[in-house]
Amino acid sequence: MASVDGELSRRLGLADSVVIGLGAMVGAGIFAALAPAAAAAGSWLLVALAVAAVVAYCNATSSARLAARYPVSGGTYVYGRERLGRLWGYLAGWGFVAGKTASCAAMALTVGSYAWPEQAHAVAVGAVVAITAINYTGVQKSAFATRVLVGVVLAVLAAVIVIGLLGTHSAASALPDRIGPRDVLTAAGLLFFAFAGYARIATLGEEVLEPQRTIPRAIMLALALALAIYTLVAVATLSVLGSAGLAAATDPLARMVSAAGVPAAAPVVRIGAVLAAAGSLLALILGVSRTVLAMARDRYLPGALAAVHPRFGVPHRAELVVGAIVAAVAALFDVRAAIGFSSFTVLFYYLIANISAATLTAEENRPPRWIPVVGAVGCVVVAFALPLGSVLAGLGALALGAALYALGERYR
């Protein structure tokens, strides 16, 4: 189905929407954020996971209500603009694009690290090129590819959970018990990086069938499934490796199945890690390009990026530009630095989402009053508990975005 008058085609149902959100979360959470979060929280990792889940639930509920009200591409960029004003919408979009570009690079580097550690950056760039090509040919193909990847990854994770829970636990060791509340919040911020994938569903609002009904259901289903998976994998991994072993591992799930007494499963887990990160990268690039599309339509980014391909019905120029930037970042930076930066800027994005949701009226199906309040406070507290370098880099990126907005308004 081709696009009409520059609009995207509605092709995605509930199952495809859930799979795209789940695909964006599972790869990031299990294979990228678990180990650094354990290094921060130690044996309190599950408490940090619970904190991240509460913040994510509030953010997801606020986003779902807003997405039903504004079922177009752009996510919180649109919600902030419509509810709070152009500046806040622009800053949300800027933070999303900046943070999720870092997330895309982190996922590409995860593919490289598991597939060919000695050439991780080169493999990462190749993965970005391949996935950009898939997205370019249409969102239905992207959804199909994500469904296949998520199915394989869930099968691998199910095996990991069974091996971890039933295997030997004699190698488990704990970090020294010097964990404080700030450490738990730092870990929650890193784990929030893993939960943010449901935003992909909202940013695809213009391509979802029956968006007022489908988007809220898809967001909550994807979040619930991701939380269940994270909890089971975290429990299994802590049981086998302990907090110290988990914190020290660059490939914790592969090490876990070996330590649990099934080393033959380690190569399968590595393949699963590559597929999970690839699925996450596919969904992330899909979401970032749609936010770029929305901002280009409003001339906050070059108007040429608002073009929609007449045959494939996708924002092809935005996808190519996003792919090129992600490839460059993946060639130059590492995984862990990207996670903290991404978490800070995306938490700012959801701060605006919660404030926007608080302005909804009863007739507009607003969420319970406490949800956007807890969500907004949680975003601020968890964001500023992240490592100082991540906080400073995030604030710098947002300041740059504000300066560019002011410059654009001057010449608008």
Q: Which tens digits make up the pLDDT trace of 240-262?
A: 999 999 998 878 888 899 999 99
Task: Give the pLDDT band (50/70/90) at residue 370.
Answer: very high
CB 244 within 8 A of CB 174: yes
Task: Give the pLDDT band (50/70/90) at residue 2.
Answer: very low
The pTM of the full predicted model, rounded to 2 decimals, is 0.85
Checking if the pLDDT of 185 tops 50, the result is yes
How far is residue 403's CA from residue 407's CA, in Å, rounded to a whole number? 6
Task: Give the pLDDT band (50/70/90) at residue 323.
Answer: very high
Mean pLDDT of 355-369: 93
Percent of the chain predicted with pLDDT > 90:
47
Checking if the pLDDT of 326 tops 60, the result is yes
Task: Give the pLDDT band (50/70/90) at residue 285.
Answer: confident
- More confident of the two residues 379 and 297: 379
Q: Which tens digits make up the pLDDT trace of 379-408?
A: 999 999 999 999 999 999 999 999 989 987
- The three state secondary structure string of the chain is CCCECCECCCCECHHHHHHHHHHHHHHHHHHHHHHHHHHHHHHHHHHHHHHHHHHHHHHHHHHHHHHHHCCCCCCHHHHHHHHCCHHHHHHHHHHHHHHHHHHHHHHHHHHHHHHCHHHHHHHHHHHHHHHHHHHHCCHHHHHHHHHHHHHHHHHHHHHHHHHHHHCCCCCCCCCCCCCCHHHHHHHHHHHHHHHHHHHHHHHCHHHECCHHHHHHHHHHHHHHHHHHHHHHHHHHHHHHHHHHHHHHCCCHHHHHHHHCCCHHHHHHHHHHHHHHHHHHHHHHHHHHHHHHHHHHHCCCCCHHHHCCCCCCCCCHHHHHHHHHHHHHHHHHCCHHHHHHHHHHHHHHHHHHHHHHHHCCCHHHCCCCCHHHHHHHHHHHHHHHCCCHHHHHHHHHHHHHHHHHHHHHHHHC
Q: Which tens digits make up the pLDDT trace of 33-69?
A: 888 899 999 989 999 999 999 999 999 889 888 988 8
What's the pLDDT at 199? 65
What's the pLDDT at 142? 59
What's the pLDDT at 143? 63
Nearest CA to 65 out of 160, 235, 205 is that of 205
Mean pLDDT of the chain: 87
